[in-house]
Chains A and B, each alone.
Chain A
Amino acid sequence: MFARSLFLAVSVLALSACGPSEPVSEGAPPDMRRLTEEQYRNTIVDVFGSTVTYGGRFDPLERKDGLTELGARSARVTPSGIEQYYTVARTIAAQVVSGENRDILFPCKPADAKTADDACAKQFFTETGRMLFRRALTTKELEMSVSAAHEVGAGRNDFYEGIAYSLAGMMVTPKFLFVIDSVEPDPKKPGDVRLTAYARASRLSFLLWNSTPDDQLLKAAEAGELDKKSSLEKQVDRMIASPKLDNGVRAFFADFLDLGRFEILEKDPVIYPAFGVKAGEDAKEQLLRTIADHLVARDLDYRDLFTTRHTFVTAPLARIYKVPVTKPDGGWAPYEFAEGDPRAGILTMIGFLSVNSHPGTSSPTLRGRAIRETVLCQKVPDPPGDVDFSGFNDPNSPNKTQRQRLTAHRANPTCAGCHKITDPIGLSLENFDGAGAFRTTENGVKIDTAGDLDGVPFTDAPGLAKAMSTSPAVPACLVSRLYSYATGRPLDRADKDTVAYFQKTFESDGYRMSKLLRQIAISESLYSVSPPKAGAATQAKSSDAQKENPS
């Protein structure tokens, strides 16, 4: 399990001898990724505004290699998934053409709203289609969209109904629902391919904003500016300065920390009466809000996320934290835990503690495993099927605390191997129960929170926080996961120099997330692709056609 850490450490050492220039990356063959729910939602907001709303649930994505984003590259669409897409698309389209929105969302007015108007339809689909497909529509695509709108508009005597039907159709095509790595021959390397400018724009936009490219970015792509370092840097700096960076950082950390598990978070109301649905929702938001504030708004050192005492709370969270409520109306208020408080960093927040516990009890093992697998990028083996803990839960047993029970459990050598990886970390968080509330005893026995992180000893949760903040594996893990997330593919040994390069720049930039994102966004590695796999040779031609034939 420590192989990856070793690999990362070796990479860092190797780098110091290689110098600071970016290594050449071969990239991976182009692929196509299904939009995540969040990307779909952000795209709709960016194209049509936040007043357009919809419900529904898309096919789930499998988490692969530590990221759900990587599951998107092999995700398929089932019949009921398409049904959901189509229902949502019609809901959205109906709102786009509604009386309240049409004056805002349409670039033109039809000469007669009671019939088709091809000129206005063309204008609408030229603009809207470009945003949805993340590239200009081809002549054929545009003609088809206008034709569809025409037939319905004329047949139904309603221009806007025609637009709505055609728009809904456009939104269930793979061109919208999949982000495609379209490629073209690389003029600098005959025989090789490179991402088209539009594909570069998409890669950049989904990394920084988790959404579709905006008009400025598409214009830059169309002008060939994304191939030039200075122009690319200008776009990246503009995007990093945008409020939408918040979406991008939140999306990455939600994936990195596997916060999708909040979907199934539920606590026993008898055991944890203060932890209701709202507390669960707020606990997730607290994590993301704290992360975004720390890394984006205040541009602080990533490692300090593990020790920060600055956060935000709502009334439901304040009840569990047992801190004063300053906004009883449900709003968020900043809160600073005092020096000496047992709360320090994101690992001691209700969100992390509760989602890595059971519905009716804490779990040092789940917490330890989550730390190892998410923020340290280490793999903990699955437990065997026949785990028998019953001997330790006898009410008359002397094992009153989780530490006592786990110590007894580790006497079994089959179990000890993994538990010695997870438990010394997880047990240091035992001052927090399954809902994340502070406690000092369990079953009347004082809780011992001593532990160690890979040989660094500590006595309590703040000690763990400090050990995490100084562990080189923590920033190393972030870098490798972020690079994997950015490129949409799992990393392999061929990426070690590139990852080491970004680790080094991250270190020299004071572990600032904005700087790391910038370094990746302006790198050659982010956009590098290797030739398509056999059978995909026509992709380049197809992409060329799209590029040469924008309307």
Chain B
Amino acid sequence: MTFLIPRAPTRRRALKSMFNGAAVSLALPFLDCFLDDNGTALAATGAPLPVRYGTWYWGMGATPNHHVEEKRASGPGIKFLSEAAALQPHMDKINYFGNFNMPLDGHSNYTHFSGWVVNRTGAAPGHATEIPAPTFDLMIADVIGNSTRFKTIDVCSTGVAASNYSARGTNSRSSAEISPVALYARLYGPEFVDPNKADFKPDPKIMFQKSVLSSYVEESKEFVKGVGAADKARLEEFFTSLRQIENQLALQLEKPAANDACVVPQKPNEPPVDRLAAIREMGNVIETHKVLAKLLAMAVACDQTRVFNMVFTDHFGNIRRNGETYTHHLLTHEEAIDPKLGYQPLTYWFGQQCMNGFASYLDILSGIKEGAGTLLDNSLIFATSETNYARVHTIDGVPMYLAGKAGGRIKTGQHLIGNGDPCTRVGFTVMRAMGVPIEKWGTNSLQTNKAITEIMA
């Protein structure tokens, strides 16, 4: 079965659809999204099913010897232990990466921070808030995210908008969506174009909005000439972001191709008051995650975005269990190891809930049929944490997962052993699979040009 994605808008169609005879004579820049990669011809009007990239984050790592059984050599099969047992049904759609390290080259390990920054940027932070390079989801978005309504969608289940591990650099981070109602309004509000609606009529207001916005963008560019180099870079990023809005508006002028996988979800209800008052209680996190994940997954199926980031719990593990004095994070420091069990029982419980959450996420993605497979088959999900054993905040051997086959580009069901190689090999492999044109990635000891070929199809 050939599945066609929504057609890219064309300049010709956009101009042809001037509305009600009203000529618009404002500056109308020729948008990049109307062009093919060479910028010399109009984009194709149909394409194979898109491949998507997503991340899934949980805080506080894993319980040693209770998460995944260690192996001596890479190979097929992953033995999930009790903490991660919920992932067993998904084993053939997952790769697990163990024993990959994070050399910091003399930089401090800024606890709860260095781990995720290194894993996602390929560089060690020099201070406790530095994000020294773009996170690689955005490098992927720059390649595959230019023709959708949203370049990325960032979502967090713990009610903290700042808990988003996608950034262009220090002080360049989006707020994550934390409210199901707000996420629904953003994704499926009046500006959503239902690909399966028969009577599509482009909204004439959009054309005018786009024209006005373009005029302001062009006029404001003069402004860049008057600032210093650092501010110029900030403004260039600003205008790049503005072009994304123009892109969004342009896409709303086109009728997207019918898309069987896209079913507009029900509008979620406002969460009950008691949940809002205890949004970081684990049971409520799970509920919020479920609602957000369904909305997000359908947005991906509807090709609203091709890059999406989900945070289940944050990098400080500020998650509670009702009646317990300590949060997940505090428990890692304050809970005694049960001599019979050999681990911290409550900490382990939190870890188990996190893996249950990951399994439920994969259930949602694989529950959406798409072409001959599922949405998960056409996606690649990088799931990881900021630490390995949270009790001592180690960052070597941080557990990493890749779920999904990326439209057939990735082989799954394998347990890969890093033997101390830098963790950046995973990110590098992902970027290569997603078509990012890089020869190497990372800085200093984190730099690599070695893809993990065992999983490349």
Contact = CB atoms under 8 A, between A and B. Distances in A.
Answer yes or no: do A and B interact.
yes
B221 to A, nearest CB: 10
Contacts of A539: 226-228
Contacts of B234: 32, 74-77
Contacts, number: 245
Contacts of A277: 273, 276-277
A82 B318 contact: no
Given A147-B215, A390-B334, 13 more contacts: A55-B182, A59-B174, A62-B170, A71-B171, A77-B172, A148-B26, A154-B22, A173-B223, A263-B162, A268-B322, A269-B278, A358-B325, A360-B326
A414 to B, nearest CB: 13
Interface string A76-92: 11111111101000100
Interface in A71-120: 71, 74-84, 86, 90
Nearest to A397: B336
B279 to A, nearest CB: 7
A148 B327 contact: no
Which of A182, A269, A541 is packed against the most chain B CB atoms within 10 Å? A269
Contact of B175 (A29, A59, A389): A59
Interface in A3-38: 29-32
Interface in A133-172: 140-141, 144, 147-148, 151-152, 154-156, 165-166, 168-170, 172
Nearest to A393: B334
B213 interface: yes
A66 to B, nearest CB: 12
Nearest to B330: A358
Interface string A349-378: 000000000111100000000000000000
Interface string A513-551: 000000000000000000011111011011100000000
Contacts of B241: 77-79, 81-82
A243 interface: no
A390 B280 contact: no
Interface string B268-308: 00000110111111000000000000000000000000000
A534 B229 contact: yes
Interface residues of B, number: 88
Contacts of B151: 79-80
B280 A266 contact: yes
Given A151-B211, A266-B279, A389-B334, A536 B174 contact: no
Nearest to A77: B238
A300 to B, nearest CB: 35
Contacts of B334: 389-390, 392-393
A55 to B, nearest CB: 8
Closest 5 CB pairs of A and B: A385-B393, A542-B226, A536-B228, A155-B22, A76-B172
Contacts of B169: 76
Contacts of B281: 268
12 contacts: A75-B171, A80-B150, A80-B154, A84-B175, A152-B211, A155-B22, A172-B242, A173-B220, A263-B162, A270-B323, A358-B330, A361-B326
A338 interface: no
Given A62-B170, A359-B327, A541 B212 contact: no
Nearest to B141: A79
A268 B129 contact: no
Interface of B: 19-20, 22-26, 109-111, 128-129, 150-154, 159-162, 168-175, 182, 186, 204-205, 208-209, 211-213, 215-216, 219-220, 223, 225-232, 234-235, 237-238, 240-242, 244-245, 248, 273-274, 276-281, 318, 320, 322-327, 330, 333-337, 344, 391-394
A534 B232 CA distance: 12
A174 interface: yes
A191 to B, nearest CB: 18
Contacts of B333: 387-390
Contact of A541 (B226, B344, B392): B226
A188 B367 CA distance: 72
Contacts of B128: 382
A55 B213 CA distance: 21
A30 B229 CA distance: 12
Contacts of A393: 334-336
A510 to B, nearest CB: 37
A276 interface: yes
B320 A360 contact: yes
A140 B204 contact: no
B120 to A, nearest CB: 15
Contacts of A182: 226
A492 interface: no
B227 A32 contact: yes
B14 to A, nearest CB: 15
Contact of A80 (B20, B129, B175, B204): B175
A464 to B, nearest CB: 25
Given A76-B237, A78-B241, A393-B336, A382 B392 contact: no
Interface residues of A, number: 85
Contacts of A536: 226-229, 231
Interface string A462-497: 000000000000000000000000000000000000
A416 B309 CA distance: 40
Contacts of B182: 55
Contacts of A391: 336
A125 to B, nearest CB: 12
Contacts of A78: 168, 172-174, 237, 241
A172 B280 contact: no
A71 to B, nearest CB: 6
A223 interface: no
- Chain B CB within 10 A, most for which of A58, A175, A386: A386
A271 interface: yes
Given A264-B160, A382-B111, A83 B248 contact: yes
Given A64-B129, A277-B277, A539-B226, A165 B330 contact: no
* Centre residue among B129, B279, B334 by max chain A CB count within 10 A: B334
A541 to B, nearest CB: 7
A270 B322 contact: yes
Contact of B391 (A165, A180, A388): A388
A156 B21 CA distance: 10
Name, among B20, B150, B213, the residue most crowded by chain A CB atoms within 10 Å (CB to CB): B213
Nearest to A148: B212
Nearest to B224: A174
Contacts of A388: 333, 391-392
B149 to A, nearest CB: 10
Contacts of B228: 29-31, 532-536, 539
Nearest to B108: A382
A140 B222 CA distance: 11
A383 B204 CA distance: 58
Nearest to B232: A535
B208 A144 contact: no
Contacts of A154: 22
Question: Max chain B CB contacts within 10 Å: which of A55, A84, A154, A264?
Answer: A264
Contacts of A394: 336
A76 B323 contact: no
A467 to B, nearest CB: 29
Contacts of A538: 225-226
Contact of B280 (A62, A152, A359, A392): A359
Contacts of A80: 150-154, 174-175
B207 to A, nearest CB: 9
A394 B338 CA distance: 11
A62 B276 CA distance: 25
B175 A81 contact: yes
B216 A172 contact: yes
A45 interface: no
B25 A76 contact: no
A330 interface: no
Given A32-B231, A361-B325, A542 B161 contact: no
Given A61-B171, A270-B322, A359-B327, A535 B229 contact: yes
B219 A533 contact: no
Contacts of A84: 175
